[in-house]
Structure 1
Amino acid sequence: MAFTDPLRQVADFDAGDAEWLHLLVGDWQLLADLGFGDLLLCFPRDVVPAAENPTGRPVPAEGSEFLVLAHSRPTTGPTAYQKDMVGELVGGQAARTLRRAWIDRSIERAGPSEWSSLAPRSVTLVPLVRNRRTIAVVSVTADPQRDRLPSRMELVYRESAGDLLRMANQGTWPDFAVRSDSRRGAPRVGDGMLRLNASGVVEFCSPNGLSTFRRLGLQGDLQGQNLLEVARQLPLTAPGVDETLAPVLAGTMPWRAELSGVKASATLRAIPLRQGTERTGALLLCRDVTELRRRDLQLVSKDATIREIHHRVKNNLQTVSALLRLQSRRMHSEEGRNGLRHAMRRVSSIARVHESLSHEISEDVDFDELMRHQVKLAVETASAGQHVRTEVHGSFGRLPSKSATSVALVVNEIVANAVEHGLKERDGTVQLSVVHGEDEVSESGDSHRVVEIAITDDGHGMGDAVIEESGVSAYRPPAEGEGLGMQIVRTLVASELRGSIRWEPGEDGGTRVVITARFPQPASGRG
């Protein structure tokens, strides 16, 4: 459920209004920190539609309570509300004050007596106006700090908060032109803030902001200097200032950028300040992200190293497979040739898993495409000239990389066994299906994803017998006529996949082999 659902239920408001509120709430920690106060987003419980109001605008009904849709606390000062206000109803004198601000569409101040039911402090009420109609009201409850003289930084912060609230009242902030950035290290107020005039000259720079630029190579102060010209003199890794960075440093566009120096890196975010359509200046947030980028580089290097290792293992296994193929051609014994061919198939199966892992950056592997190739490879290697059709139903999803090799080997052996012994040189079909069961939780609290893998052939069949093995029984010596492949399957299913294996007659003849496997489940849920 989105916090804008009450607004969406009123026909006079559209999806653009809801999206604008999402932009505001996504960014209003900035407002709370600059204004040293709590923010409440309020919306009336009962709304008189525009068609029923002489002004032609939707307004709160007389006596309507207001619902708190969102709440933000400042990180730069004490909170006014000890409890979370989301979902609370505002009534009485406070609701009447909110209704008056909604109708007047102008910023108002409410005294402690008008807001005493919520907090005994003065409150600033800011109607959020879009397309000449109010869509919500923001209340700002701040500690006045009358027992001391405010610092210049505090005065600039409060002035900047006032500018942003005025722009929010006019519907010009937040701006839909804001570019999203998925990289870590978005700057916050406490990380460093500069205030620029309309010409891009620094009027104020917080101590943290100055420290950030000093680490980038600044000599001297920023006060009174053009920030774009200062940046052009810094020892950056890329010479000059590119076309995306210049508008941020000048404060003309609401974008984010990054300055990469020889010894440090900093993220920047510009917020243009406007009075109507005229740009009056800008706020520039900055943050030293040198350590963050160093860690990012280490992670990238680690991921690249792991992928390279998987790639080299795959190449080595392919070399081993090729050597086995050459050796099998020199064997005079049919039994020896078959043994080498089986070994070659198993090595190729493991190599294909490492090939998939060499393209992944996570600890899981997308197993579906790998398994389609695996089934076809096993059939082609095991078939002696007959035409065998393969079918794959269901989806494995992403499996833990440490389990991928075991699953690939088990499926490889059972599919090859179905072709060699189930079909016995006749044409037919081998089908693999995947079904996800209910997750299981062990006594220790570990969660496991349960997957049932069924491999069916339409061959000669094994009679009416049903054989199921799991746990300790799977480690028995091979029975008469049972080869190395089935011993590998039983051992891997019991030890690596923590499951069981069952051989049973197929519904339409042939044999059906069902493997129940359990995979460690990450805390975030199914992959």
Structure 2
Amino acid sequence: MADFSQILATRSDLDNSDREWLHHLVADWQVIADLSFADLMLILQNGDGTYIIAEQCRPSTVMGLRSDDVVGAVVPDVYMDELDAAMQCQTVFHSTTLRALDNTMICNVYAPIVHNGKTLGLVVRETNMATRELNGRYENESINAGKRLYDMIPLGEFPYTDPVINQRHNARVADGFIILSLDGIIEYASPNAISCFRRLGMNGAMEGLYLSEIGTQLLHENDPVPEMLPLVLTGKAPVDSEINANRSVVSMRSFPLSNDAGRTGAIILCRDVTELRRREVELQTKDATISEIHHRVKNNLQSVSALLRLQARKTQSQEVKKELAEAQRRVQTIAMVHEGLSQTADEIVDFDKVISNLLRMSIDLGSMRDQNISVDYVGKFGMMPAQDATPLSLVLTELITNCVEHGYEGLKEGHITVSVERHGKNLHVVVEDDGNGMEHEEHNGMARSSGSGLGTQIINTFVKNDFGGTVEWEPREEGGTRVILNIKLRAALGV
């Protein structure tokens, strides 16, 4: 089934500005459907004169008329005359015929979508006539407000030129709405909107008062005042903001109303987001705590690394010095993973940044002063949780260290290539060096394939036990050694 974006992409009669306008319209038209208690459909005309339903919107405040999706469907011929008439109209066009839809009588109203003086299509409002019986004040105020927004579509005033796109928690009609006059006086406040302001500390009635004055009285000296709050409280701009007072938080969004004579007032949507903000603070505190823990672990591991280095300087045995240096490098590897974790809000790291620093460190520690060994990367590891990052870091640093210490023994320079392919949780890594080759390394006691060295044992243990993978050692055709890892990450995220 075609979706809205696909339908717009096929329309040669629309330019990019037109498509963007229609996208803004459907991003904000839910408020019209909810206030009007009506289904909405966006209809475009085909080159042959027929009409297609490009998008639809069901109200969340009442049961919608259509249970099926009709996007992509051609409008029946019975509607052709009034659709043609609506496309030529400069204002909202009312159908003179009530039609039956699943045993329900509906009344169609058409709003031409005008942008830069051009009619792009129609927004059809399908009203269930049964919902217009025995309406109380809440329903009447809501429907009238929805009509005022709807009437702005042919004027090119809705959607707004600068649509709100940064709202963290969009307020909904059912959460509460307020209708303001041109001067910012409250003409009507729904029960839920009144409840929102009572939680902020308001007492008494709201109607007949300036919303800006109510908001100002609720704020205390040290309460935060967002920059956009005055514009929301006066309804002068399509922006969103929050009031934080009396240990409660209310999110608000302003929908300025206008007609052909200019601005006439505003609709303000309200939502109590106190609990949401409390949870956000708790999550931020938790994230900060986790980051601090990783930072302290890193510091402690670096202290252990420094103690090992100090101990290595004290010993006279070259063999012990070497073993302590290896232990120091492995501790430092884990410390750098925790350093990466301390800089994020969750338990994942950008593994490409971490491993780049680690492998460079492994080369610096393992190579002689007069050696020039470089490392190159092909592909990306991507984001990775600590559960996978720590053992994989140890595996790769052991491989690079082995390359430097044994593959380039007696050589002045060399080049190591790390190639990686990742598909979801599956990781294919190839580490190649242009060193002495496997025969020389085994002759010098490395014995990679047999796994007798500690570094090799670490590699095999992590790859097989932690990742259930395989390690293959083979000679490189151009000289040197190639190591192939095929592993499955346990908690891997997308690249």
Same fold, TM-score > 0.5, yes or no: yes
Partner of residue 291 from structure 2, selected from 307, 315, 322 = 307
CA separation in 2, counterparts of 1:202 and 1:338? 79
Following TM superposition, by how much is the alpha carbon of 1:455 offset from its aligned partner in structure 2, in angstroms? 1.5
Partner of residue 217 from structure 2, selected from 233, 239, 244 = 233
Work out whether residues 265 and 293 of structure 1, in 8 Å CA contact, stay in contact via their aligned partners in 2. Answer: yes
| CA gap 1:8/1:327 in 2 versus in 1, 3 angstroms | closer
Aligned to 2:463: 493
Pair 1:462-2:438 in alignment:
yes
TM-superposition CA deviations, 1:276-327 (whole Å, max 9, x none): 2511100000100000000111111111111111100000000000000000
CA separation in 2, counterparts of 1:277 and 1:487? 81
CA separation in 1, counterparts of 2:400 and 2:180? 70
Following TM superposition, by how much is the alpha carbon of 1:380 offset from its aligned partner in structure 2, in angstroms? 0.9
Work out whether residues 4 and 21 of structure 1, in 8 Å CA contact, stay in contact via their aligned partners in 2. Answer: no
Pair 1:83-2:68 in alignment:
yes
Following TM superposition, by how much is the alpha carbon of 1:233 offset from its aligned partner in structure 2, in angstroms? 0.7
Aligned to 2:26: 25
Tell me the SS of whatever aligns to 1:352.
Answer: helix
| CA gap 1:479/1:171 in 2 versus in 1, 3 angstroms | closer
| CA gap 1:10/1:408 in 2 versus in 1, 3 angstroms | closer
Partner of residue 410 from structure 1, selected from 377, 385, 395 = 395
Work out whether residues 454 and 512 of structure 1, in 8 Å CA contact, stay in contact via their aligned partners in 2. Answer: yes
Question: How do 1:101-500 residues align onto structure 2 when only pairs under 5 Å count?
Answer: 101-112=86-97, 120-145=105-130, 148-183=133-168, 185-236=169-220, 238-239=222-223, 241=225, 243-385=227-369, 386-436=371-421, 439=423, 449-463=425-439, 482-500=452-470
Tell me the SS of whatever aligns to 1:294.
Answer: helix
Following TM superposition, by how much is the alpha carbon of 1:394 offset from its aligned partner in structure 2, in angstroms? 2.0
Following TM superposition, by how much is the alpha carbon of 1:24 offset from its aligned partner in structure 2, in angstroms? 0.9
CA separation in 2, counterparts of 1:253 and 1:72? 25
| CA gap 1:305/1:150 in 2 versus in 1, 3 angstroms | same
Pair 1:526-2:489 in alignment:
no
Work out whether residues 99 and 106 of structure 2, in 8 Å CA contact, stay in contact via their aligned partners in 1. Answer: no
Work out whether residues 232 and 241 of structure 1, in 8 Å CA contact, stay in contact via their aligned partners in 2. Answer: no
| One-letter amino acid of the structure 2 residue matched with residue 514 of structure 1 | I
Work out whether residues 237 and 261 of structure 1, in 8 Å CA contact, stay in contact via their aligned partners in 2. Answer: no
Following TM superposition, by how much is the alpha carbon of 1:107 offset from its aligned partner in structure 2, in angstroms? 1.6
| One-letter amino acid of the structure 2 residue matched with residue 153 of structure 1 | Y
Work out whether residues 430 and 455 of structure 1, in 8 Å CA contact, stay in contact via their aligned partners in 2. Answer: no
Tell me the SS of whatever aligns to 1:173.
Answer: coil
| One-letter amino acid of the structure 1 residue matched with residue 181 of structure 2 | N
Following TM superposition, by how much is the alpha carbon of 1:31 offset from its aligned partner in structure 2, in angstroms? 0.9
Partner of residue 69 from structure 1, selected from 34, 54, 58 = 54
Listed as ranges, the gaps of 5+ residues in structure 1 are 47-60, 440-447, 467-476
CA separation in 1, counterparts of 2:453 and 2:272? 63
Tell me the SS of whatever aligns to 2:157.
Answer: coil
| One-letter amino acid of the structure 2 residue matched with residue 335 of structure 1 | E
Following TM superposition, by how much is the alpha carbon of 1:334 offset from its aligned partner in structure 2, in angstroms? 1.5
Tell me the SS of whatever aligns to 2:292.
Answer: helix
CA separation in 1, counterparts of 2:42 and 2:257? 22
CA separation in 1, counterparts of 2:412 and 2:222? 64
Tell me the SS of whatever aligns to 1:429.
Answer: strand
| One-letter amino acid of the structure 2 residue matched with residue 501 of structure 1 | V
Work out whether residues 8 and 14 of structure 1, in 8 Å CA contact, stay in contact via their aligned partners in 2. Answer: no
Work out whether residues 451 and 460 of structure 2, in 8 Å CA contact, stay in contact via their aligned partners in 1. Answer: no
Following TM superposition, by how much is the alpha carbon of 1:526 offset from its aligned partner in structure 2, in angstroms? 2.4
CA separation in 2, counterparts of 1:36 and 1:217? 31
TM-superposition CA deviations, 1:399-440 (whole Å, max 9, x none): 222110111101111111111111114223242323325x4x
Listed as ranges, the gaps of 5+ residues in structure 2 are none
Tell me the SS of whatever aligns to 2:425.
Answer: strand
Give the alignment's TM-score, normalised by structure 1.
0.87
CA separation in 1, counterparts of 2:321 and 2:33? 76
Work out whether residues 167 and 274 of structure 1, in 8 Å CA contact, stay in contact via their aligned partners in 2. Answer: yes
Work out whether residues 223 and 245 of structure 2, in 8 Å CA contact, stay in contact via their aligned partners in 1. Answer: no
Aligned to 1:508: 478
Tell me the SS of whatever aligns to 1:266.
Answer: strand
Tell me the SS of whatever aligns to 1:380.
Answer: helix
| One-letter amino acid of the structure 1 residue matched with residue 386 of structure 2 | S
Give the alignment's TM-score, normalised by structure 2.
0.93
Aligned to 1:444: none
Identical columns (%): 36
